Structure 1
Amino acid sequence: MDHPEGAGKTDDARLGFDRRVRLEFRGAKLSSDGGLLVMRELDDALGLSDLASDALHDSRRGKNTTHRLDGQFRQSVFGRLAGYEDVNDAERLSLDPVMRQIVGGRAVDAQAASASQMGRFETETLAAPENRKALADLNGQWIDRFHDRNGLKYIVLDMDSSVSPTYGDQEGSAWNWHFDCTCYHPNFLFNQFGMLKRCALRNGNVHSAYGWRDLLDPVIARYAKRNLMRFFRADAAYASPAIYARLEEEGYFYAIRLPVNAVLREKIAHRLTRPVGRPSLTKVKRFYEDFHYQAQSWEDERRVIAKIEWHPGELFPRVGFIVTNLPMEPDWVVRFYNQRGTAEQHIKEGKQAINWTRLSCKGMAQNEVRLQLHALAYNLGVFLQGANLPEEMADWSLTSLQTRLIKIGARVVRHARAITFQLAEVAVSGTLFSRILTTIQRLRAPPVLT
């Protein structure tokens, strides 16, 4: 006889070292992901799944429509947020009480989809061209919805590429000499809050800046009518006159690192001789040079700032060049550019917490879908970080939120008119949990106009 909650009835087990201890297996009553209920509340407060339902086309027919599209979409995104990188765990999650609640909401008999159903959903339904385009745009829509509730005074865009190692004969994978592996070479565009505005999956052997316009132009269009100051940062791989011209055309301030060449070094030759006097054993001597420069491929000359650092114990200075149209002092521009390093931290968080390098499908389109689903899961976590959380968890990383909040043990007790989730009180207390919910519910307020 099956258990009413979906778990099969089994004989109780006892431990030999203490016969008083009895073990019961009630899989459909227990979950290791109780904190996902908070994320579902955040989803509902911002209407994120509603945006997805409006954007995605449901091509399924007949028996394939047993599960609603919004439910399967949430199962894909929330599962990744909880650390389930693909559909391999879908069979077990289909009976998980928290996942069932997230997928079905008020439906009493709701059940999450099986592994085969989720596989078809991700590799067929979402892999259709119109849905891949919609998924790529969805991150921007989600971020706009978040900012509509919180307001936005200015925008800083950070572009960077990364590596997703591949194994086997996967479409688009190729050897990349820089990363020293066979891989994909995805491109990312973040804002100053760590939110992933847009991403693109690319072949493994393309240049870091390949396809930059496809990534940048939709984001430029999204902010074209907003009264905001706009900034852009990137490393030397994106040092291209076409990028400079595009940003200048749209009124963006930018700071982009320049590769060192002989002409640039000649401009600062007087700084490349060790300063007079005994070198300090502890302090770095730092100098700035500010000049205009025009490479052969540039139609116009542009401002370039050089930073020269003499470090204790080193025979030669460390030199870096930044091309910019910012009117600030050189040290300010350098500090602003150096904050670009946060993009690398965001990519690291995406790899560690969401595991967005897990792109194991054979087809490029299917792997593109999975990268976008990983990105949406990542952004959902970042939204919670940006929701003015209680002070005790204000500095938690996405990995900490996953391990301390999302991975809370939970037991469900169903009554005629109520569903009770009994949550383990370990890293997060009941009081703190309530304060998190209160913070999220404030996001239901009317939008803030910018």
Structure 2
Amino acid sequence: MNHSTLPLPGLSPGGGKSVLARFDGGLLSSDAGVLALREVEKRLGVAERLAACIDDPRSQDQVVHRLPDLIRFRLLMIAAGYADGNDAISLRSDPIFKMAQDGLPSERDLASQPTLSRLENRPDARSRVRMGRAMVELYCASFRQVPKQIVLDLDDTFDAVHGDQQLRLFNAHYDEYGFQPMVVFDGEGRFITAVLRPARRPKGSEIRAHLRRLIRALRAHWPTTRILIRADSHDCGPVVIDWCRANRIDFILGVASTSTLRRHITGLEASAKARFAAAPQRGKVRRFTEFFDGAASWSRVERIIARVEAGAQGSDTRFIVTNLTGGRAKMLYERIYCRRGMAENHIKAWKAHLAADRTSCTKATANQFRLFLHAGAYWLMWVLRARMPKRSLWRIAQFDTLRLRLIKIAARVVERKTQIQLHLPSACPDQTILRVVLGRLPRLVT
């Protein structure tokens, strides 16, 4: 029995008339905005870049679904909110997704869920390395001209797992098994790379190895660009600091509080507490100072900046270390270091809005490939948002808002002999901004 022809039960009458609803509308789609994402993907070439990194042993003359088509389908699914590969069972016949693959609505269906699962398990360790380089190339290609300076925000995030995945590890802080991927964004929110790793705090040698590969790839494109590394105290250590200095890399890193550092700010803490106690109605008192010191394991003393804050809950002190020579302590802390907090918002968008924590494959290489797939979907949404008018609220909208307002648009698809017509809702509230974005897309740099 064809259940799509059965009426939906339990619908109340409207305007005195009974309501009859069936899933028999024909070529309809609820994701017309995917075509805008297709235009973004065409200009970025994310699918082609990732596909070029994977060896395809299939007989090409008998291939129905090319690797770039498979990857593009998966990227568009993730960006449209379909993070589960099982959704391909229904979406493979969606006319809009077919058009996004440069096909006709009446042509054969797209790849099935088993085909996409085989894709995820195809890359090996070498493919994973090549895809990491491809993501860096994608990042460099997103600039119109070579930048004078870039800021790299290094952070990690916990990813809980519930199976026997390779590299999984129990983390006592989160009281769960999982991964702790290392993720890098730039200061503007562009995605650079992600590395799958066990759920433990990274050692300095591991961070150094990761930075060495990343900086080498960036220097291959921009040998003279100045690079600044920002990270919290988890990624600060003598190995990292020495490597940055040896390779002409600027850094501004959080430092864990120690008795050696705290002896420099004892008087400042007492002064801040006294000022707050004298006028609590003025709010918290924040003071800054700087000095040169270092841990016993450091090879030399470094410039340390301390931020002391006193309030009703007591005092709070934070330390950062940097090799930047200019600037006042307050400016370096508030205008440069604190902006690394935006990286947490980027990770939130990557995980919460694009489901990047769906790392449920058994093989570590497959889960690493998933991180890159979700990174590619992040690029589609980020570029779509970057094309918005600069002073509009769309420029700071979350990815789930963009999806709800611009991607989830109903459409009736009519295929003619020489034309495909899309009939979109006349009452669509965001049709104006969609016109603006599509008008700006051709000016993207690829």
- Report the Cα distance in structure 1 between the residues aligned to 2:399 and 2:172, rounded to whole angstroms: 31
1:376/1:28 Cα in 2 relative to 1: closer, same or farther (>3 Å)? farther
Deviation at 1:28, TM superposition (A): 5.8
| Map of 1:178 onto structure 2 | 173
Q: Which residue of structure 2 lines up, in the alignment, with residue 5 of structure 1?
A: none
Q: Is 1:268 aligned with 2:265?
A: yes
Asked if 1:257 corresponds to 2:241, the answer is: no
Contact 2:388 2:437 in 1 (8 A): no
TM-score for the superposition, normalised by structure 1: 0.88
CA contact (8 A) 1:12 1:22 kept: no
Residue 424 and residue 64 in structure 1: after superposition, are their counterparts in 2 closer, same or farther (change >3 A)? farther
Aligned CA RMSD, in angstroms, stands at 2.7
Tell me which amino acid in the other structure corresponds to 2:355: N
Can you list the C-alpha shifts for 1:220-251, whole angstroms capped at 9, x where unaligned? 12332344332111001011112112222332
Is 1:140 matched with 2:136?
Answer: yes
Report the counterpart of residue 244 of structure 2 in structure 1: 247
Measured in 2, the distance between the counterparts of 1:87 and 1:143 equals 26
Residue in 2 that maps onto 1:302: 302
Per the TM alignment, residue 105 of structure 1 is displaced from its structure 2 partner at its CA by 4.0
For 1:405-444, what aligned pairs fall within 5 Å after superposition?
405-424=406-425, 428-443=429-444
| 1:371-390 aligned within 5 A | 371-389=371-389
Structure 1 residue 367 corresponds to structure 2 residue 367: yes
Residue in 1 aligned with 2:348?
A: 348
Which digits, 9 at most, give the CA deviation of each residue in 1:373-411, with x for residues without a partner?
Answer: 111111221122223447352221112112211122222
The answer to whether the 8 A contact 2:46-2:376 is kept is no
1:165 CA displacement: 0.7
In the alignment, residue 140 of structure 2 is paired with which amino acid? D
Q: Is the 8 A contact 2:412 2:422 kept in 1?
A: yes
Hey, which bits of structure 1, 4+ residues long, moved more than 6 A? Answer: none
Residues 141 and 422 (structure 1 numbering): CA distance in 2 closer, same or farther, change over 3 Å? farther
Question: In structure 2, how many angstroms separate the alpha carbons of the residues matched to 1:427 and 1:194?
Answer: 29
| SS of residue paired to 1:189 | strand
Secondary structure of 2:396's counterpart equals coil
Q: Classify 1:242/1:169 alpha carbon distance in 2 versus 1 (closer, same or farther; 3 Å).
A: same
What letter corresponds to residue 132 of structure 1 in structure 2?
Answer: R
Whole-Å Cα distance in 2 between the matches of residues 438 and 183 of structure 1?
Answer: 43
Displacement after TM superposition at 1:25 (Å): 2.8
Query: How far, CA to CA, are the matches of 1:64 and 1:165 in structure 2?
Result: 40
Q: Which amino acid aligns with 1:371?
A: L
- Contact kept? 1:158, 1:233, Cα under 8 Å: yes
Q: Aligned residue pairs: how many?
A: 434
Of stretches 319-328 and 428-437 in structure 1, the one that deviates more from structure 2 is 428-437
Q: Secondary structure at the match of 1:362?
A: coil
- Separation in 2 of the partners of 1:208 and 1:403? 40
Q: CA deviation at 1:11?
A: 4.5
- The reply to whether residue 159 of structure 1 matches residue 159 of structure 2 is no
TM-score normalised by the chain length of structure 2: 0.89
SS at match of 1:275: helix
Aligned to 1:4: none
2:126 match: 130
Q: Assess if the C-alpha contact under 8 Å between 1:27 and 1:96 holds in 2.
A: no
Q: Distance in 2 between matches of 1:209 and 1:419?
A: 56
User: Where does structure 2 lack aligned partners over 5 or more consecutive residues?
Assistant: none
3-state DSSP class of the match of 1:55? coil
Alpha-carbon offset, residue 24 of structure 1: 4.5
Match of 2:29 in 1: 31
Residues of 1 paired with 2:168 and 2:427: CA distance? 43
Kept in 2: contact 1:412–1:421 (CA 8 A): yes
TM-aligned CA deviation for residue 64 of structure 1: 7.4
Would you say 1:326 and 2:327 are equivalent positions? Answer: no
Summarize deviations over 1:286-313 as a string: whole Å, max 9, x none: 22121101321111111001111111x2
